[in-house]
């Protein structure tokens, strides 16, 4: 797979087990279009499983039983894994088991009877509109760095992008005249996301007066640039958000994804349709978007408790 560093084969994983895993990962990346990070996570999980099975005598996937796979998952329950991590490992194994059937390596899906951990979704935290306003105004001044950071934060909140999507944006994806951008999200799926007027103005100012200061001979078409003239890394984006939150006087832990959560919650509070929010966020399942209705419900209950004469 071009561009993806292979995960080293552990010495206790037979090549027969590792080879089928690598073929599955190639299928996910090349045929299904899953992200590199997702593929690397699945590959690591499956090789961990393979090492466990190999220590118990397994030499190929055709002979692995559901009981053996269940023993692997059970062995992890006492380790320092979150419920979400355990659920991801089971998801990887289930997908791999179906792949083995498609490739006629097995006749049965050996994970069918495996039960995963109960995964409860946490209600995402959000910033208040007042906090967002302070955050967006935090990059003060007219230098190139301030222009970049203001445009970046405005677009982040205006469009609800993922960090990876924001970091990978190119000039060709942005249409300021029409007020939208095209994003290639998870699974290489394209979606159209609106760009608000204030974000569009900030980006236009950045392009005219800020970006030229970062351009180097080998600079490509990335929208936001580092001082080396290359695309911003996820770490740099994280730092920009953290610095803006500190300057804005926001004391709680502000992570980049909090702007995406705030984008969705504020839209819902303003009366936006849940399906429209789903499309803008790039959620494949409406159930993922519905978590934001829980945020609004929690807010309403809090208001009732605080202000109703018999709410307490």
What is the average pLDDT value for the chain, to the nearest integer? 84
Q: Which of 134, 182, 186, 234 is catalytic?
A: 186
What pLDDT, on the 0 to 100 scale, is given for residue 190?
Answer: 81
Say whether pLDDT at 175 is over 50.
yes
Task: Assess whether 261 carries a catalytic annotation.
Answer: no
Q: Which of 47, 89, 260, 266 is catalytic?
A: 260
pLDDT in tens, 72-114: 988 887 667 777 788 889 899 999 999 999 999 999 999 988 8
Q: Other CB atoms closer than 10 Å to residue 191's CB: what's the count? A: 15
Sequence ranges of the domains in the chain: 15-102, 129-307
Cα gap 82→87, rounded to integer Å: 9
Q: Which of 106, 162, 261, 266 is catalytic?
A: 162
Task: Assess whether 162 carries a catalytic annotation.
Answer: yes
Task: Assess whether 99 carries a catalytic annotation.
Answer: no
What pLDDT, on the 0 to 100 scale, is given for residue 205?
Answer: 97
Per cent of the chain over pLDDT 70 is 83
Task: Assess whether 198 carries a catalytic annotation.
Answer: no
Q: Which of 176-190, 218-232, 288-302 has the lowest mean pLDDT?
A: 288-302
The CATH code of the domain at 129-307 is 1.10.443.10
Q: Other CB atoms closer than 10 Å to residue 276's CB: what's the count? A: 13
The end-to-end CA distance of the chain, in Å, is: 60
Beta bridge partners of 225: 231
What pLDDT, on the 0 to 100 scale, is given for residue 112?
Answer: 87
DSSP annotation of 225: B
pTM (global) more than 0.85: no
Task: Assess whether 292 carries a catalytic annotation.
Answer: yes
What pLDDT, on the 0 to 100 scale, is given for residue 237?
Answer: 92
Q: Is 134 buried (19+), middle (13-18) or exposed (0-12) by CB count in 10 A? A: middle
The fold of 15-102 is DNA polymerase; domain 1 (1.10.150)
Mean pLDDT of 1-11: 46
Q: Which of 47, 88, 150, 292 is catalytic?
A: 292
């Amino acid at each position: 797979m071009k561009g993806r560093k292979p995960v080293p084969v552990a010495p206790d994983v037979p090549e027969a087990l590792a080879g089928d895993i690598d073929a599955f990962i190639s299928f996910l990346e090349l045929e299904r279009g899953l992200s590199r990070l997702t593929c690397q996570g699945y590959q690591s999980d499956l090789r961990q499983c393979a090492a466990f099975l190999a220590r118990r005598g397994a030499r190929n996937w055709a002979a692995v039983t559901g009981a053996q796979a269940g023993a692997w998952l059970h062995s992890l329950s006492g380790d320092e894994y979150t419920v979400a991590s355990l659920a991801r490992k089971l998801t990887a194994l289930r997908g791999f088991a179906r792949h083995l059937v498609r490739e006629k390596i097995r006749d049965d899906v050996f994970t069918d009877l495996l039960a995963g951990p109960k995964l409860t979704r946490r209600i995402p935290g959000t910033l208040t509109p007042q906090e967002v306003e302070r955050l967006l105004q935090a990059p003060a001044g007219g230098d190139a760095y301030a222009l970049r950071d203001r445009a970046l934060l405005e677009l982040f909140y205006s469009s609800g992008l993922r960090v990876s999507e924001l970091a990978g944006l190119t000039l060709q994806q942005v249409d300021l005249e029409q007020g939208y951008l095209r994003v290639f999200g998870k699974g290489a799926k394209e979606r159209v996301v609106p760009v608000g007027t204030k974000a569009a103005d900030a980006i236009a100012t950045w392009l005219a007066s800020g970006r030229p200061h970062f351009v180097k001979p080998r600079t490509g078409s990335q929208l936001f640039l580092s001082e080396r003239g290359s695309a911003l890394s996820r770490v740099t984006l994280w730092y920009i958000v953290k610095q803006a939150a500190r300057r804005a006087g926001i004391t709680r832990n502000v992570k980049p994804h909090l702007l995406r959560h705030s984008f969705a919650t504020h839209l819902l509070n303003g009366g936006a349709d849940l399906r429209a929010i789903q499309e803008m966020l790039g959620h494949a399942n409406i159930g993922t978007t519905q978590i934001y209705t829980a945020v609004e419900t929690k807010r309403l209950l809090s208001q009732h408790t605080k202000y109703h004469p018999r709410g307490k």
